Structure 1
Amino acid sequence: MTIRLRGHHLLCLLGYRGMGYSDEFCVNMTAIYETLRTKPETEVEIITGPDDICRAYPPDKTYHCEGTVYGLDERILAKLGLAPHERSSWQDMCSRIAEKIVPEDIARLCTTCPWEKYGVCREGVGFLIEGRPLPKAGG
């Protein structure tokens, strides 16, 4: 099994705590998050554009999986030294994040994100740096 992720979702997953845009979105995001959290050997492929998380974005909301988020993806991938089509385990991706990102980077990188204000992504980066596991979704 390979999970396809765009650049900024590498950081979004670290802060996922069960909140989302709709019930269907949360079901999909929780499934992806829990797979990666409990099976860190799962392969992740970096892609450009809408990914496995975007596929459940609610049709009644303003679709943001295209457009300005591409710049966010590019900034995060550049900071991590990753490029589209690269594949690695989730565990290796998390190790790279812990080496290249500090919690304070979230405020600088994710200025347009509506979830940034909750501080959960900063917290998730901190967990990786400290070698702590990510919490169960919703926990």
Structure 2
Amino acid sequence: MEEPVIRLRPHHALCSMHFTGRGYNEEFARNMSAIHRRLNSGERQMVKIIMHRDSLCEACPHDQDYACKREERIRELDRAVAEACHIRSGQWLPWSEMSALISERLMPDGALPGLCDHCEWHAVCEKQHG
């Protein structure tokens, strides 16, 4: 049976690189863990870049009626990551390529990018890379 497509907002691609198993709630953490395992399975996992509700949003408590309560801020993050990585909505690429783009263009020195400064998960990611 074919696995469902992994659809990712650009900022979620960045977040997926730093995931430590924690989440907003148990359902979100379980969903993100499953996606994280698939992304890092060693296979040539393809992702579809989208600028709206994605595979991670499906279990997010901020998702209400297929829309994010934080949509305005989230769109800014998505645009910043997409612009820095030269990717566009609707683009398909291997996860290995997407993660390499993020590392090279957003984190060349290994530090979290400034666009993460106001994220509630910043301290968790910073600790992981500390």
Q: Which TM class, normalised by the smaller chain length? A: 0.7 to 0.9
| Shift in Å, 1:122 | 7.2
For 1:5 and 1:121, locate their aligned partners in 2 and report how far apart those are by CA, in whole Å: 24
* Residue number in structure 1 paired with 2:88: 83
- Is the 1:14–1:121 contact (alpha carbons within 8 Å) kept by the matching residues of 2? no
TM-score by length of 2: 0.82
Higher relative contact order (CA 8 A, sep 6+): 1
Match of 1:104 among 94, 99, 111: 111
For 1:48 and 1:12, locate their aligned partners in 2 and report how far apart those are by CA, in whole Å: 15
Deviations along 1:17-43, one digit per CA (max 9) or x if unpaired, are 011011111110000000111144111
Give the SS at the match of 1:15.
coil
**Unaligned runs of at least 5 residues, structure 2:** none
Q: Structure 1 34/66 Cα, relative in aligned 2: closer, same or farther at 3 Å?
A: same
Runs of 4+ aligned residues of structure 1 deviating over 6 Å after TM superposition are none
For 2:42 and 2:15, locate their aligned partners in 1 and report how far apart those are by CA, in whole Å: 18
Aligned residue pair count: 122
Q: Structure 1 111/120 Cα, relative in aligned 2: closer, same or farther at 3 Å?
A: closer
Corresponding position: 1:116 with 2:122? yes
Deviations along 1:89-137, one digit per CA (max 9) or x if unpaired, are 101112222221223352x1112210012235973xx9xxxxxxxxxxx
* Residue number in structure 1 paired with 2:41: 38
Deviations along 1:65-107, one digit per CA (max 9) or x if unpaired, are 522110011001101111111100101112222221223352x
Q: Percent same amino acid at aligned positions?
A: 31
Corresponding position: 1:48 with 2:51? yes
**Unaligned runs of at least 5 residues, structure 1:** 127-139
- Is the 1:20–1:26 contact (alpha carbons within 8 Å) kept by the matching residues of 2? yes
For 2:88 and 2:63, locate their aligned partners in 1 and report how far apart those are by CA, in whole Å: 31
Corresponding position: 1:68 with 2:106? no
Give the SS at the match of 2:93.
strand
